Amino acid sequence: MAVPVARRFRGVSNVTPMHAANAATDIRAAWIEAYREVRGETERRAAPLSDEDQVVQSMPDASPTKWHRAHTTWFFEQFLLLPHLSGYRVFDRQFAYLFNSYYVGAGERYCRPKRGLLSRPTVAEVYEYRAHVDAHMIALLERLDASPCAELAAVVELGIHHEQQHQELLLTDIKMPVMDGIALALATARDHPEIVILLMTGYADQRERADGLDALIHDVLTKPFTLHDLKLSVRGALETRVH
């Protein structure tokens, strides 16, 4: 996975002058590798889809592939390029409204259930948007050195995890409503029994359905839950996988 490769260098601060240049080079190379790998994986997953496929919204709680690809790109633009890359100009100012999701502090957002109604920007324009942001992200990452990069690296890692999350959503959102989360859990347990399954739901009836899956899943978190609840559940799932 890309993220563990990068995590080796996150927050490096105690670097002697003798090794500073080499450490800075390693940090830059690791983050660039991690970034390119994750961004490339999103494109590989979207590649088999036609332009028409990428605008389909299977249900109000899902999002089109085109939107996922643009939203993850907006994250890097909004939280890394704008505050940290001097002179950066946004690709299109309307995209902040169209591709924000639940980041209230970043401004107004387009209505989620209507994302499938957006014929613009086109899929081709989203490709251009991703290429634009990727080029500037590489330029930003190439400027990292071994000392002041901890705060910036934390946001880069968050953005990488965020994109990986949307890679999963990209696949599941296409399957819905034919395959919902419970059906996905059943299929995953059947085809990949080594995977530890943790479900999250905001619907009481889904919780009741999940109770019948105790032999297949580790836990079910019912919304709303706290960050502490999530950490405990994930820690328990990871410990189960280790043992």
Give the residue with greater pLDDT, 120 vs 152.
Answer: 120
In the CATH scheme, what is the code of domain 2-175? Answer: 1.20.120
For 177-216, write each residue's pLDDT tens digit.
Answer: 677 777 778 888 888 888 888 877 766 566 566 556 667 7
**Alpha-carbon distance 81 to 133, whole Å?**
8
Cis geometry, peptide bond prior to residue 17 (ω within 30 degrees of 0): no
The answer to whether the CB of 219 falls within 8 A of the CB of 198 is yes
Strands of the chain, DSSP E: 198-201, 219-222
Q: Please, where in the chain does CATH 1.20.120 lie?
A: 2-175
Closest CA to 70 of 13, 127, 149, 132: 127
For 89-105, write each residue's pLDDT tens digit.
Answer: 999 999 999 999 888 88
Backbone dihedral angles phi then psi of residue 220, each to the nearest 5 degrees: -125, 125
Q: Please, where in the chain does CATH 3.40.50.2300 lie?
A: 181-242
Chain position carrying tokens 């949307």: 166
CATH number for 181-242: choose from 3.40.1280.10, 3.40.50.920, 3.40.50.2300, 1.10.1760.20: 3.40.50.2300
**Alpha-carbon distance 162 to 137, whole Å?**
15
For 133-174, write each residue's pLDDT tens digit.
Answer: 999 999 999 887 644 567 788 899 999 999 999 998 898 888
